[in-house]
């Protein structure tokens, strides 16, 4: 359940200049671990002007941001454990206030196209000079150097450029477009968070911060390290549906049950396959585990067996027989799953107004300094006045700054 435990990063201040998935996920992880995260947003007028300028350059039409309801609202899990301030970095006084914020920070996370932060006066060199202890994390698609550094992209293009999309393509079919999990979240936000934590640890020895250059393409390749070993070492391509862990084996596959649901069987090892065959009453299938010529036969036999009972009936039987098995759960079933409940991985977070917000819990679990969800997601600019008051800005100046669009 959400709590008030300070976490292992208590006392660490993170300034978050990001707005898309990888950066906010990175800073959510840091916030879950106890860091004080201050999300800095461009006021709507400045953001709108920047969008219109970009649209004019490309000949496009004005449209809303992707996922407008999920950014900076009560359902935005990536906004939990954060305070929010609106600062216009293109305003002279706004930039001064941002510098004051960074001067006392431990970490800054940005995900602008390389060179943009420098032009705004918030690049690594300038911020390092201002605060030598600062860990400065740049999250980008291709990194801060190389021929693609300035190339725009999203999760899908990064998967394409790293071979990951090819691995997700069934033979004889076109590439499958997955959700933006591998690049944005795993290779992007999570790898960036690891880099920030490593830089903070190094700072304990050196007393000096450094630049964390987190490229989503680098991160995707990192996640694919073991799969790519097959190619680098033996020129073997991990084909979807044709490798042991992608569905080639009947003992590592998904089957439909009598009620129209599905069951995932993950018996890669022969002893698990033996336990499976015994549990479903088909021990004669056990010797066929390593016979590639009879895989279709075994798959057909197992499909017929699993069609005789419901998903949950089979799960109870197989789990009790020490078989590697999982129910293919719909999202509506997650909150009632006993394992997720026991691990507090689906939680309800109270907020000052309105009903609680349901979201994913914190991972991993630390025994002595566990992470926690201490505050619900923010609304943009919710904490502007309070944060600026901490920087010594008085009420009279707040009104003036807000009137000219320097803050929001």
Q: Residue 83's CB: how many other CB atoms inside 10 A?
A: 19
Q: What share of the chain is helix, strand, coil (3-state, %, to 5)?
A: 45, 15, 40
First-to-last C-alpha distance (Å) of the chain: 33
Report the DSSP beta bridge partners of residue 32: none
Q: Residue 95's CB: how many other CB atoms inside 10 A?
A: 17
Which residue is it, tokens 């880099």? Answer: 195
The Cβ-side half-sphere exposure at 331, using a 13 Å CA radius, reads 3
Active site residue 184: yes
Catalytic residue among 99, 154, 211, 379: 154
The C-alpha atoms of residue 17 and residue 116 are separated, in whole angstroms, by: 12
- Which candidate, 235, 229, 216, 221, places its Cα nearest to that of 162? 221
H or E stretch covering 274: helix 270-279
Could you tell me how many residues make up the chain? Answer: 408
Q: Residue 186's CB: how many other CB atoms inside 10 A?
A: 17
Active site residue 128: no
The C-alpha atoms of residue 356 and residue 340 are separated, in whole angstroms, by: 19
Catalytic residue among 91, 106, 184, 218: 184
Residues marked as catalytic: 154, 184
């Amino acid at each position: 359940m959400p709590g008030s435990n300070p976490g292992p990063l208590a006392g660490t201040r993170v300034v978050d200049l990001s707005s898309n998935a990888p950066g906010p996920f990175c800073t959510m992880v840091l916030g879950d671990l106890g860091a004080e995260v201050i999300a800095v947003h461009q006021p709507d007028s400045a953001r709108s002007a920047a969008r219109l300028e970009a649209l004019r350059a490309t000949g496009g039409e004005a449209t809303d941001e992707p996922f407008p309801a999920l950014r900076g609202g009560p359902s935005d899990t990536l906004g939990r454990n954060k305070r929010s301030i609106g600062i216009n970095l293109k305003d002279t006084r706004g930039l001064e206030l941002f510098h004051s914020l960074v001067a006392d920070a431990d970490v800054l996370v940005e995900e602008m196209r390389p060179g943009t932060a420098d032009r705004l006066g918030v690049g690594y060199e300038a911020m390092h000079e201002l605060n030598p202890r600062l860990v400065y994390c740049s999250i980008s698609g291709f990194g801060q150097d190389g021929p693609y550094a300035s190339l725009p992209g999203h999760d899908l293009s990064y998967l394409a450029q790293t071979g990951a999309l090819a691995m997700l393509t069934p033979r004889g079919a076109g590439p499958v477009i997955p959700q933006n999990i591998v690049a944005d979240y795993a290779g992007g936000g999570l790898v960036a968070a690891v880099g920030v934590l490593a830089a903070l640890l190094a700072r304990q020895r050196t007393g000096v911060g450094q630049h964390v250059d987190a490229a989503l393409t680098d991160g995707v390749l990192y996640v694919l390290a073991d799969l790519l070993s097959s190619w680098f070492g033996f020129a073997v391509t991990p084909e979807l549906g044709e490798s042991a862990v992608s569905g080639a084996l009947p003992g590592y596959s998904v089957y439909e049950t009598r009620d129209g649901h599905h069951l995932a069987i993950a018996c890669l090892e022969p002893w698990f396959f033996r336990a499976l065959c015994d549990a479903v009453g088909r021990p004669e299938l056990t010797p066929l585990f390593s016979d590639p010529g009879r895989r279709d036969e075994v798959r057909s036999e197992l499909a017929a067996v699993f069609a005789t009972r419901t998903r949950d009936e089979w799960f109870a039987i197989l789990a009790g027989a020490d078989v590697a098995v999982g129910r293919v759960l719909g999202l509506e079933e997650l909150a009632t799953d006993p394992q997720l409940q026991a691990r507090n991985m689906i939680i309800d977070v109270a907020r000052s107004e309105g009903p609680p917000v349901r979201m994913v819990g914190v991972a991993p679990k630390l025994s002595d300094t566990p992470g926690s969800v201490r505050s619900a997601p923010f609304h943009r600019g919710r904490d502007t006045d309070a944060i600026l008051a901490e920087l010594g800005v008085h009420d009279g100046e707040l009104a003036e700054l807000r009137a000219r669009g320097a803050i929001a």
